[in-house]
Amino acid sequence: MARACAKSTLTGNLFVAPGNPGCTTVAQTVPLSPAEHAKVIAFCQKQAIDLVIVGPEAPLVSGLADDLTDAGILCFGPTRDAAQLEGSKGYAKDFCREFGIPTSDYRRFRDPNAAKAYIRDRGAPIVVKADGLAAGKGVVVAKTFEEAEAAVDAFLSKAIGSATAEIVVEEFLEGEEVSFFALCDGVVAMPFASAQDHKRAGEGDKGPNTGGMGAYSPSPIVTPELGQRITREIVMPTLHGMNERGSPFRGVLFAGLIVDERGPKVIEFNVRFGDPEAEVILPRLRDDLLPLLVACATGTLRGDPPKFCSDAALAVVMAARGYPGEPLRGSRIRGIEDADTLTGVVVLHGGTREVDGAFFADGGRVLTITALGSDLANARERAYAAVDRIKWPEGFFRRDIGWRAIARDSKK
């Protein structure tokens, strides 16, 4: 996001809070936590900030956009009420049901025994979700009763903190997962881009769910016709419903979908540019991003959808050993600068720390290597060539990002 904004002709001073070592190449980093609303507002007032872009979900759910707006500071991102689309899985499911947005069948539970009885009645596979924010780790796709019941116990025993007051148990949907993005100004929705993520930690889509281990864009299955259908059946009813509830949605609506022969169904909403999807979408953007974000924030979104380059983008996430559980911190990473020199490649920092010019792991998903190419196969070749230049024995990554789309292309 910082790189995209830095390219804008409108950008004067660009600050990122709290930022990471990668952000320092395009912006000034500020040791501010987005959770500390009053300090964020005081900084914006002191620096005469014209626009705040709220990146993470937690400050949106806690009402940072509301507090900034109340202080007279323009903000790209939905209000606390509108952010409940991501902040509560139960809210999102009830919302879809109320406004006729296609989604899977489901029930909400606080009682583990009732949840387990429902699971036994419905059968496996089945999906168990923590209701609140869980950094991509609050979903279990259970293939057996035992897995489902273990997830119920884990989530309702507060194993992941505040995300566990309630759970959603929902129908398992067969199909291909797609991420669809639309820019929204409360009334107008502008289709933005599509991507496909890889949620599981292991190759072959095995292992626990994560915040994302890699992605590619555009999604080959999102044809113009399907994009129009998603906009008509999902995006516009969502905007209408939020207005009807008195919570106009301004920001980026990220619809996580399952697509099968019957069409798209919502599996989740996000209310911000997620990663690694944004890390393959934004490098392809040809138009200036900043005027679009300002238009969303001011309710003046008009005109044609933004233009993207014809290249494909593919990103590989390098994570610290232990992720999505407790990651191993403090290991040194070498070769980042070397990888960054390859044609079409950019190494994006996530959970890194810099000490005297050396980089160290300081989080779960630590680096994302994004490559542009003439097609997905070319982008993947470049991305993995860059990954192989990074020397980090304590990290891991998937070798099969893009496998489904590339296998499909090879059969044409």
**Assigned fold of 105-171:** Dna Ligase; domain 1 (3.30.1490)
| DSSP β-ladder status, 75-76 and 365-373 | unpaired
Cα–Cα distance measured from residue 72 to residue 211, given in angstroms and rounded to the nearest whole number: 33
In this structure, the number of other CB atoms found within 10 A of the CB of residue 269 comes to 25
Say if residues 124 and 147 touch (Cβ distance below 8 Å).
yes
Q: What is the pLDDT of residue 133?
A: 85
Two tokens at 35? 């959770």
| DSSP β-ladder status, 15-16 and 28-29 | parallel
Q: Which residue has the tokens 């489904």?
A: 404
- The overall pTM is greater than 0.85: yes
Helix (H, G, I), strand (E, B) or coil at 339: helix
Under 8 Å CB-to-CB from 131, ≥6 apart: which residues?
88, 89, 90, 108, 163, 164, 165, 166, 167, 168
Two tokens at 285? 């953007």
Domain 312-410: which CATH class?
alpha beta
- List average pLDDT for each run of 10 residues in the chain, which is 412 residues long: 95 96 96 96 98 96 98 98 96 97 96 95 95 81 94 79 74 94 97 95 92 95 96 98 97 97 96 95 97 97 94 98 95 97 97 96 97 96 98 97 83 66
Cα–Cα distance measured from residue 401 to residue 403, given in angstroms and rounded to the nearest whole number: 6
Q: What is the pLDDT of residue 122?
A: 94
| DSSP β-ladder status, 332-333 and 206-209 | unpaired
Cα–Cα distance measured from residue 281 to residue 276, given in angstroms and rounded to the nearest whole number: 9
Cα–Cα distance measured from residue 3 to residue 403, given in angstroms and rounded to the nearest whole number: 28
Domain 176-298: which CATH class?
alpha beta
* 3-state helix, strand and coil shares in percent for the chain, rounded to the nearest 5: 35, 30, 40
In this structure, the number of other CB atoms found within 10 A of the CB of residue 396 comes to 16
**Assigned fold of 2-83:** Rossmann fold (3.40.50)
Q: What is the pLDDT of residue 409?
A: 72
Q: What is the pLDDT of residue 209?
A: 86
Q: What is the pLDDT of residue 412?
A: 64
Q: What is the pLDDT of residue 63?
A: 97
Q: What is the pLDDT of residue 275?
A: 92
Instruction: For the chain, give every domain's residue range.
Output: 2-83, 105-171, 176-298, 312-410
Q: What is the pLDDT of residue 136?
A: 67
